[in-house]
Homo-oligomer: A and B are copies of this chain.
Amino acid sequence: MSSPFTAEHVAEWASFGTKLKGKPTPKQQLAAKERKAKCSEMKKRLVKELNDPNWTEKKIEKELDRLAEEGGKVAERPEYLDGPSGTRDFYPPEMKVQNWLFDKFRETAKSFGFQEYDAPVLEHVKLYERKAGEEIVDQMYNFTDKEGKHVTLRPEMTPTLARMVLNKTNLQTGEVRLTLPLKWFSIPQCWRFETTQRGRKREHYQWNMDIVGVDHVNAELELLAAACFFFKSLGIGPEAVGIKINSRAVLEVVLAKHNIKKGQKDEDGGDIFAKACVIIDKLDKIGGEAVTELLGGIGVNAESAADILQALQAPTVDALTDHIGAESESVEEVRRLFQLAEEYGISDYLVFDASVVRGLAYYTGIVWEAFDRRGELRAIMGGGRYDRLLELYGGEKCQIPCVGFGFGDCVIMELLKECNKLPEFQGSGVDYVVCAFSPDLYGSAAKISAQLRACGCSVDLMPSPKKNAKASFKHADQTGAKRMVFVAPDEISRSVVRVKDLRTKDKNGEAVQVDCPVDKLDTVDALVAEAAAK
């Protein structure tokens, strides 16, 4: 968006001073604190003045920093230089972090024998119209294409998975033409269109793991074990993260007592049980009173609502059983899950929580939600059983049981930062920087680069040499390269190149240097080791 700020705004911002770099002295710390307070005040004022949800405090700060840096000249900056609202660019440093996280997702999935799949980011809107009281269609990034089709950037992956499975299913018989169970995973980008909330992203990536074709709790257990394996692999233990477990089937028993029965349609044709779940899911956010009111809207009287809310507070499976007044198959299932989790070695992560129902209408059985134990972040992951979704799409023969979870890329990153579990992402991963002393040696430098690459090395051939050798070495050092090859006339006339190993020091603490014959570049390692030992 073009900048709404005047030269006066920028001058005011600039008058607070600039951000500190490096470690501050106590005096600087004080100044920084004062600056922060002034900036914060101005940002709050501008948020009010602008009254535009796109101009969050963060964005205002970024824009004013930029304008101040550019000398206060408020030029017309084309809006298209920003990506669309609520989207992220991944520059190489951010990309490295993302790749690291996605590799962890993939490693876990592979450890558990899951196969990767993918599908286009665009889907038909119809795929998400499930008539179940969810707000998902309102919040979709949907549009009408040039042929009049109603399409959307996918809000979530589960309906796509259902569609893909059904495309390999005989809809007349329900027979799936793939060997069941399927254990599939994907890391799709998902989109939503929210106009109301400030500073929230419109896209995120979501690791999806699903098991198709297993109608019992072993499938839930496997998914939960995978999530715990993932947390462990990041160094996040059960003291930092928990997974709340509940069962919609248990909730079904509770609600049935109050005449809310599954499969029962309301006047809009929506499933009244699913609607109740969507309402109950809001308990944390809107509180008991508001939930009671919303339940009233679907025909639940106050007394029933009170009883339901009490059931949701049951601290253990036993307490809930007592509340219901009888054992049921679905309670037994939850018990079995906890029992098996013990043997699987993941029970430290799991807690029973009768109030967890998840906001998606399609869940039918056990549901879960990972949370940070300090209670500061949004849900880290959510999942559950959805045994009727494929039937909804494919018809009555397609009663194919499914369980799955979705694990976003944002909250886990916040958690990793808080727990100090993000590794350092320094260095470019380059083995060699190759530099030609002068333009006439560029061909030789290219040839040497090709030879090093043929040995499996990553080589950054510098297209233009720096001003001098020292500057070139500095460049190589800063990018985190292991070695620098300097292609200079003297050495080339002797058919060798000078290799400086930036990470291996000799006895005097200097970087080891060796001359390596250009036709024996595969021997550099040995030469360096030899020189280092001298």
| Residues in A lying within 8 Å of B, measured CB to CB | 69-71, 73, 75, 77-85, 87-92, 95-96, 98-99, 110-113, 115-124, 126-127, 141, 143-147, 149, 151, 153, 160, 163-164, 166-168, 170-173, 179, 181, 183-184, 189, 191, 193, 195, 203, 211, 214, 216, 218-219, 221-222, 225, 229, 339-340, 342-345, 393-395, 428-430, 433, 442-444, 446-447, 449-450, 453, 457-461, 463-464, 475, 478-479
Contact = CB atoms under 8 A, between A and B. Distances in A.
Contacts of A88: 119-120
Contact of A344 (B344, B447, B457): B447
A149 B79 CA distance: 11
> Which of A80, A119, A147, A463 is most buried by chain B, counting CB atoms within 10 A of its CB?
A463
A98 B118 CA distance: 10
15 contacts: A70-B171, A80-B123, A81-B394, A84-B122, A85-B147, A87-B120, A87-B122, A91-B164, A113-B459, A121-B121, A121-B189, A181-B463, A183-B460, A214-B463, A229-B453
Q: How many copies, total?
A: 2
A500 to B, nearest CB: 17
A340 B443 contact: yes
B126 A79 contact: yes
Nearest to A89: B119
A348 to B, nearest CB: 13
Contacts of A143: 143-145
Contact of A81 (B73, B112, B166, B475): B166
Q: Identify the interface centre among A82, A126, A453, A459: most chain B CB within 10 Å of its CB.
A: A453
Contacts of A126: 78-80
Given A124-B80, A443-B339, A95 B111 contact: no
B80 A172 contact: no
B458 A111 contact: yes
Contacts of A433: 113
Contact of A164 (B89, B145, B163, B430): B89
A461 B211 CA distance: 12
Given A75-B395, A463-B216, A116 B95 contact: yes
Given A127-B80, A218-B464, A446-B225, A172 B71 contact: yes
Q: Which 5 A-B pairs have the closest CB atoms?
A: A113-B460, A343-B443, A92-B115, A80-B124, A87-B120
B70 A195 contact: no
B181 A124 contact: no
Given A95-B116, A113-B458, A143-B144, 15 more contacts: A80-B124, A80-B126, A81-B393, A82-B167, A83-B124, A89-B119, A90-B118, A91-B164, A95-B115, A111-B458, A112-B458, A122-B153, A222-B463, A229-B450, A343-B443
